[in-house]
Structure 1
Amino acid sequence: MSSLTAALSMALALTLSQGSDAPLGPRGPSQDVPLFASHEMITLEVKGPIQAMEEDRGDEPEYLHMTLRWTAGAETGESEVRFRPRGNFRKQRSTCRDMPPLRLNFATGEMEGTVFEGQNRLKLVTHCREGDQYEQNVYEEYLAYRIYNVVTEESFRVRLAQVTYTDPEEGTSSTYPGFLIEDEDRMAERLGGTVEEFEQLHPFRYAPGTETRVSVFQYLIGNTDFSLVESHNVVIVRKEDGALLPIPYDFDWSGLVSARYARPNETLGIRHVRQRLYRGFCHDGLDAATAMAPFAGLSSALPAIYAEIGPWEEESRERAQEYVDDFMELLDDPGKAEREIVRACRRVG
């Protein structure tokens, strides 16, 4: 028995034993919140012990109090907000030497009437390291999230930001791109469900069509750093009717981003991360038209998404557009979609 077959068999046993009737709290779709109602870049200044925060790379980094100032359209504001490093691979200094990804924690009720109303926790994707390529990677990963927003509302919402980090004690102040990511519990609430954790999950347990949709999206951005069986870089939302939704995140290892530290899994037989490989599973009735249907409206939406990223350098923008356009050719070439997706699907069992 192959390792994949064994994992799938175990996943099926685990998910069947856990059932689909886990109790849900009194949650439903949340009303839209102002932070993600606009795609205009928000300007942030984080002022406080920046150096102390970025040096805290342990397993349980402490929250530090910072002053957060913001400009969002005509709105300006200021509040005390707690920040700490977060993540796994990117939290390591060997990966993100200069600034790890951050988590923001707002005091309950403090942000009413502001662009952050309705927020409790947020993730901030940072520039990681000094250097132009790392700054461009921020825009490229933001693009990946925004593409999936267009494909489906069952996705993490994001807001592009220009972030100034000011440390009065060190006498430093520097500005870099970043973007804010919707909290997973808020995302689940918006979709009318709750986040649920599984050790392993059989791919046929997901709501119909969602496993293929996620897998085709990951193929679009050239990402193999995910697993719908082992819930790697995927949040699972259980809706009130028991349906399980896979919500992908973390796209820095994708070909679209091509982070300097990204390497393909050597067991997959691809030489570099920009080489696409479909990792979805075979389903009855899977064909090119079905696989590509969720992406049919993407072409008309892409120009507006590209326009959101104002500071993007032209060379990086063109490189990203060419990579996405290469995928979009599948919409007009069913034969190519059949070869690269349908015939490449992984069989279960």
Structure 2
Amino acid sequence: MRFPFLFFLVPLVVWSIVPIHAQGLFDSEAVLEIRLKGDVNTLFKDLSGKPEYLPFELLLENQASGNEAFPIKVRTRGHFRREMGICSYPPLLLNFPEKGENPGIFHGYDKLKLVMPCKGERYLLREYYVYKAYQILNRDGLRVRLVKLTLEDTGGKKEKIETLTGFLLEEEGAVVNRTGLELVERDLIRPHQTDLEAYLRMSIFQLMIGNTDWSIEYRQNIYLLRKSENDRPIPIPYDFDHAGMVNAPYAKPAPELEMSAVTERRYRGFCVENMADFAPTLDTFRGHRDAFYALYNGSSILDEKDIKFSIQYLDEFFKLLDQPKKIETLLKYPCQPGNTGNVIIKGLKQ
């Protein structure tokens, strides 16, 4: 099912900013207010080659005890959103001082990703909610924290200040520390070599949100975690900006997939002949149906039109689950010879 691109005004975020107390960084739903002070102009020009860290000052604002400030290093990151030159603001990586020296809420963190509004706030918020949706399925999924970000550019003759919306995202090291699992950093692990239950749950989630921008073999937008060398890896997805659920204006399916739009659903999992193997996973999604809808219907941040879009996209997925023949056709797509179910996307080998 395809949806046309929707063009509306950028939604107004209703900030719910509270003083930071003893809660962990990702334990609160309140918007975190931070300020980055440094050479912002030079930072955002670093869009090719190996990115370089620049010195910045991070200020935690709206503190009960006053603003906290400490030095960090910041660089641009990512591939598509950074190198293609399509984003108003490229994503960033925050590199903190030595562990133990970070004040307050950032204590113990080494690095954190900062997702920026590439082409408008609305698409960033949609991606933020996809991360929240995956947390419903798997508590080991990457956690996010919405931020009100003030950028204070001190690199020019005249100081410039602007405020925008972003969200903090756990970096792989933080996920390893939190879960107690180890990171698998080897390519060419086949999908059938992963934990089947975790794999099916992840791949059906990708189908639900309409995302084809991932690969187990090349760890494309996937972390692989395991308890030990003797255990099968558990895939944890990230980077959902090319998902149909986000429907970013720059997002297009890979040409190799022969799809017309990212809102079209295509199952990218490996071939599983027996539909009975999918049954427990599909039941899991049915069991979480109300939680998915509540996440969006209860949002005080998304614009009403974005809520409606998200609900309609969920509706299409859950209608598929109630139609055995249609869902079987989708899930068995990788088993059909001559189709694009298991093609390798150009560039993943590099």
**Residue 104 of structure 1, CA deviation:** 0.3
CA–CA separation in structure 1 for the residues paired with 2:190 and 2:305: 41
1:100 and 1:120 map into 2 onto residues whose CA distance is 21
Aligned to 1:165: 151
Q: So what's the TM-score if we normalise by structure 1? A: 0.81
1:233 aligns to 2:233 (yes or no): no
- Name the structure 1 match of 2:196: 208
The alignment yields a C-alpha RMSD, in angstroms, of: 2.6
Amino acid at match of 1:217: F
- Describe the SS at the equivalent of 2:82: coil
C-alpha separation in 1, matches of 2:115 and 2:295 = 18
CA distance in 2, matches of 1:233, 1:256: 16
Judged with a 3 Å threshold, the aligned counterparts in structure 2 of structure 1 residues 321 and 103 are, in CA distance, closer, same or farther, namely same
CA contact (8 A) 1:83 1:103 kept: yes
* Conserved 8 A contact 2:95-2:110: yes
Quote the offset at 1:304 in angstroms. Answer: 5.1
Q: What's 1:24 paired with? A: none
Quote the sequence identity (%). 33
Q: Distance in 2 between matches of 1:273 and 1:266?
A: 11
- Determine whether 1:138 maps to 2:127: no
1:92-107 map, 5 Å: 92=83, 94-96=85-87, 98-107=88-97
What one-letter code is carried by the residue in structure 2 that aligns with 1:47? Answer: K
Tell me the secondary structure at the aligned position of residue 296 of structure 1. helix
Query: Partners in 2 of 1:294 and 1:33 — Cα distance?
Result: 30
Q: Give CA deviations for 1:269-294 in whole Å, capped at 9, x if unaligned.
A: 32111011111123365435223133
Query: 5+ residue gaps in structure 1?
Result: 1-31
State the distance in 2 between where 1:307 and 1:123 align: 27
CA distance in 1, matches of 2:217, 2:284: 22
1:68 aligns with 2:54: no
Contact 1:33 1:117 in 2 (8 A): no
Structure 1 position 142, deviation (Å)? 0.8
Cα deviation, 1:58-78, whole Å, max 9, x if unaligned, reads 322221122222247857532
Q: Is the 8 A contact 2:293 2:311 kept in 1?
A: no
TM-score (norm 2): 0.81
Aligned residue pair count: 311
User: Residues 126 and 177 of structure 1 are in contact (CA less than 8 Å); yes or no, is this contact kept in structure 2?
Assistant: yes
Report the Cα distance in structure 1 between the residues aligned to 2:63 and 2:208, rounded to whole angstroms.
Answer: 32
Counterpart amino acid of 1:63? Y
Q: How far apart, in 2, do the equivalents of 1:256 and 1:144 lie? A: 8
SS in 2 for 1:45: strand
Task: Please state if 1:324 is matched with 2:314.
Answer: yes
Q: Equivalents in 2 of 1:255, 1:340: separation in Å?
A: 16
CA 1:73/1:332 → structure 2, altered by over 3 Å: closer, same or farther? farther
In structure 2, relative to structure 1, the CA distance for the partners of 1:166 and 1:303 (3 Å cut) is farther
> For the structure 1 residues 82 and 215, does the alpha-carbon distance in structure 2 shift closer, same or farther, using more than 3 Å as the test?
same
Whole-angstrom distance in 1 between the partners of 2:326 and 2:269: 16
Task: State the secondary structure of the residue aligned to 1:91.
Answer: helix
Change (3 A) 1:45 1:217: same
Larger RCO, structures 1/2 (Cα 8 Å, 6+ apart): 1
Q: Of residues 214, 238, 244 in structure 1, which corresponds to 2:233?
A: 244
